[in-house]
Amino acid sequence: QSVLTQPPSVSGAPGQRVTISCTGSSSNIGARYDVHWYQQLPGTAPKLLIYGSTYRPSGVPDRFSGSKSGTSASLAITGLQAEDEADYYCQSYDSSLSGWVFGGGTKLTVL
Please state the closest distance from residue 14 (CB atom) to another protein, in A.
Answer: 26
In a 13 Å sphere around the CA of 35, the CA atoms on its Cβ side amount to: 33
Residues that bind another protein (CB under 8 A): 2, 33-34, 36, 38, 44-48, 51-52, 57, 89, 91-93, 97-105
* Closer Cβ to another protein, 14 or 52, answer by number: 52
Please state the closest distance from residue 22 (CB atom) to another protein, in A.
Answer: 12
Q: What is the dihedral of CA 75, 78, 80, 83, to 10 degrees?
A: -60
Q: Which amino acid is at 15?
A: G
